[in-house]
Each structure stands twice: as C-alpha cells, then as structure tokens.
C-alpha cells in the first residue's frame, strides 16, 4: 500500500473466540470496562463541565461490591477487565481492588487486568500495579505543552503525568498514550506527540471526540476527523496499515521511520460496532452494553438485595442478549450529546 494511500481499511480479520457470553448478533462479549469512580482530579474540557456534581457516596459501589460484581462477570466468561473512571487512581481503596482482582489472573480465569488513567498519580502506584499483575496501562495525554495541558485539564500539572509515564516504563508496564484529537488545541502537535511516544516505546492512539454528556463547550468546532489527521501524517511519514489482532476499536498503522504504532479510533467517521466485544459498568453498578446508547441495566439493586449472585447473573445475561447492534453517535451543528451520561460516568 502506498504511504499516501489513506483509504480506511474496513475489512476486519476473523475474530478469535473471546468470552463465553454471546449477544443477539453472535458477538462474543469477553471484555468488561468498569468505571470505579465518577470523580477526577482533572476537568478535561471535552469530558467534564467545570463544576461537575459528583455522585453521593452511597450510590457508588463499595470495593467489596465492585470485587463481587467483577467476579460474577469473570464467572460468566469475561477474560479482560479494564478499570477506569473518572480517575481510577483517585478512588479510595483502588489498589486494594486491584489486589483482590489479581487473584483471577493467578487462577487463569482472567487474561488481563488493566487500567486507563490520566497519569497524575501513576508515579506513586506503577510499581505496585506491575507487582499485582497489571501488564499494560493506557495513559491519557492530549498535549506536551504545560500551559495547554493546564488549560485543557482546567488546572492540571503535566509534570505529574511525565513522572507517571517514567515510573510506568521503569516498572516494565506497556504504555499506550490516548490522545483526543482536537481541531483547535492539538492538531499541529500530533506529530510531536507521536515521536514523543515512539521514542519511549509507547503506542499512540488518537480518539475522535464523542458527543457524551453536557459540557461547557460546543464540541462541533473541536471535532477533527482522523481521516484528515492520518492524511497529514502520511505526507511526512510512511504509514502502513497493520492487520488488527487486538479486537479493539482502534485501527493501527506502523510508522516506518519511528518503528512505532499509531492507532485511530473513529467512532464517528467509521463504525467499529461489528466486532464489538465489550460492555461497560458504571461506578453505580449500571451495565451499559453500548457506549453510544442509553440502554441501562441496574445491577446494584440486585447486588444489594441478596447475597445470591444468581439474579445478577441472569440480569447480565439478559442485558447482553439485548446488546444493540450499533451506536448512534452523530456530531453536527445543533446536535446535543448522543447520550446524556458523561464519559467519566461510563468509563472511556
């Protein structure tokens, strides 16, 4: 393929068997993302409004409840668990939860336990995460410029994230940097973010902004199509599509000059629903089987009603059987958020 060929690969390799639960369209669901808190120490402009109202503690699952619920999913065949938020590392008891969940890695019931973090507290925890069996982390970083970082996160200190990245690398964790592509704020910086990541052996994954939850800004004017970004990059670098074996929503290219990989997650310009293998659990115990739809199953009340896991199991089975075929994201002038909940509630 020519390096200037920016056509998007729509073909997808055959999905290997993954997870025992199957939805109504024959997709195997083996991946659970759990938001362990809606709280965060940052306020990224595309994610949260400046004055977010957070959930009362009583509504949020305890560490015991999170552990129990994850155990039920694992019993049903979940093979991969990603902990996210909000910011997972600000959640009280988070490392205890990781420690408890790591028993499923030891028994072989779980293939992977991982997290998505903003990195501000990673320096403190990277070594313990590695000790507990975490092998990979996704760290969100949208800019390398300290003042842009402060503005985009409404007050964050990029030095903390840099220290977190160093600690993760020193602990032997594989790092993927997640960058939300923003037309005004980081388009020009994407090559620099890429070389920064690749020089450290990290993947860089670009994400299009998704219309989730009310925020203070209009997302429309920040929307940047990754098709355009890839075209820009391909004018200066040799990008070769890689066949996707990760089953995630990203399509990867190798950058020949750096030897690194760059991923593109394009929920709006391309559909990634046909091989979707994941469901999401909020910190209040609500199961969402599609990121871009408002479908919801309350598992917390079942969990709190009885020590018996059977009703929870049945509710999970029923929700997965009814998983929608595709999301309904659109971004355009005058379009409100496609779903009312914020990414920080659902877990990105």
DSSP secondary structure letter of residue 339: B
- Residue of 143, 209, 222, 266 that binds ligand SAM (CB under 6 A): 209
- Per CB under 6 A, does 23 bind ligand SF4? no
Measured in whole angstroms, how far is the alpha carbon of residue 157 from the centre of its chain?
22
CB 36 within 8 A of CB 93: no
- Per CB under 6 A, does 32 bind ligand SAM? no
Strand partners, 140: 178
- Distance separating alpha carbons of residues 108 and 110, to the nearest angstrom: 5
Q: Which stretch binds ligand SF4 (CB under 6 A): 54-62, 83-91, 105-113, 308-316?
A: 83-91
Q: From ligand SAM, ligand SF4, none, which one binds at residue 43 (CB under 5 to 8 Å depending on kind)?
A: ligand SF4
**Which C-beta is closer to ligand SAM: that of 72 or that of 126?**
126
- Distance separating alpha carbons of residues 348 and 249, to the nearest angstrom: 12
- Distance separating alpha carbons of residues 80 and 29, to the nearest angstrom: 10
- Residue of 118, 143, 153, 284 that binds ligand SAM (CB under 6 A): 118
Tokens of 78: 């979940």
Strand partners, 115: 83, 137
- Per CB under 6 A, does 266 bind ligand SAM? no
Considering only residues 98 to 137 of the shown chain, the ones binding ligand SF4 according to CB under 6 A are 118
Q: How far is the CB of 240 from ligand SAM (least distance, A)?
A: 25
DSSP-H helix ranges across 144-225: 146-152, 158-170, 190-199
Q: From ligand SF4, ligand SAM, none, which one binds at residue 178 (CB under 5 to 8 Å depending on kind)?
A: ligand SAM
Is the dihedral angle over the CA atoms 241, 245, 251, 255 positive or is it negative? negative
Considering only residues 29 to 58 of the shown chain, the ones binding ligand SF4 according to CB under 6 A are 40, 42-44, 47-48
**Which C-beta is closer to ligand SF4: that of 85 or that of 248?**
85
Considering only residues 122 to 161 of the shown chain, the ones binding ligand SAM according to CB under 6 A are 140
Measured in whole angstroms, how far is the alpha carbon of residue 153 from the centre of its chain?
17
- Per CB under 6 A, does 286 bind ligand SAM? no
Q: Which stretch binds ligand SAM (CB under 6 A): 16-24, 208-216, 230-238, 315-323?
A: 208-216
**Which C-beta is closer to ligand SAM: that of 249 or that of 260?**
249
53: exposed, middle or buried (Cβ count in 10 Å: 0-12, 13-18, 19+): exposed
CB 177 within 8 A of CB 203: yes
- Per CB under 6 A, does 223 bind ligand SAM? no
CB 238 within 8 A of CB 256: yes
Q: From ligand SAM, ligand SF4, none, which one binds at residue 209 (CB under 5 to 8 Å depending on kind)?
A: ligand SAM
- Per CB under 6 A, does 345 bind ligand SAM? no
Q: Give the interface with ligand SF4 as residue ranges (CB under 6 A).
A: 40, 42-44, 47-48, 85-87, 118, 140, 344
């Amino acid at each position: 393929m020519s390096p200037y060929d920016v056509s998007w690969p729509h073909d997808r390799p055959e999905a290997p068997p993954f997870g025992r639960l199957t939805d109504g369209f024959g997709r195997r669901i083996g991946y659970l993302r759990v938001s362990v808190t809606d709280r965060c120490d940052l306020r990224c402009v595309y994610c949260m409004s400046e004055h977010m109202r957070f959930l009362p503690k009583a509504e949020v699952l305890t560490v015991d409840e999170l552990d129990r619920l994850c155990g039920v999913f694992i019993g049903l065949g979940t093979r991969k668990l990603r902990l996210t938020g909000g910011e997972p590392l600000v959640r009280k008891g988070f490392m205890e939860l990781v420690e408890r969940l790591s028993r499923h890695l030891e028994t072989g019931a779980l293939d992977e336990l991982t997290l998505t973090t903003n990195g501000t507290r990673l320096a403190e925890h990277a070594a313990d995460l590695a000790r507990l069996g975490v092998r990979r982390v996704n760290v969100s970083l949208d800019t390398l410029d300290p003042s842009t970082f402060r503005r985009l996160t409404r007050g964050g200190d990029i030095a903390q994230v840099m220290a977190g990245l160093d600690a993760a690398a020193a602990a032997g964790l594989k790092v993927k940097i997640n960058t939300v592509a923003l037309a005004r704020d980081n388009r020009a910086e994407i090559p620099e973010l890429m070389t920064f990541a690749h020089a450290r052996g990290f993947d860089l994954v670009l994400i299009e902004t998704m219309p989730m939850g009310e925020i203070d800004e209009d997302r429309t004017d920040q929307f940047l199509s990754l098709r355009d970004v890839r075209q820009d990059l391909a004018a200066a670098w040799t990008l070769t599509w890689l066949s996707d074996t990760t089953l995630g929503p990203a399509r990867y290219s190798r950058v020949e000059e750096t030897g690194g990989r760059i991923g593109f997650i394009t929920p709006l310009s391309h559909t990634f629903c046909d091989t979707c293998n994941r469901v999401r659990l909020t910190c209040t115990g609500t199961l969402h089987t599609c990121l871009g739809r408002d479908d919801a199953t309350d598992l917390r009340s079942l969990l709190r009603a009885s020590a018996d896991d059977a009703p929870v199991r049945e509710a999970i089975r029923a929700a997965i059987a009814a998983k929608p075929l595709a999301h309904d994201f659109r971004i355009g002038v005058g379009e409100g958020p496609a779903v009312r909940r914020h990414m920080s509630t659902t877990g990105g």
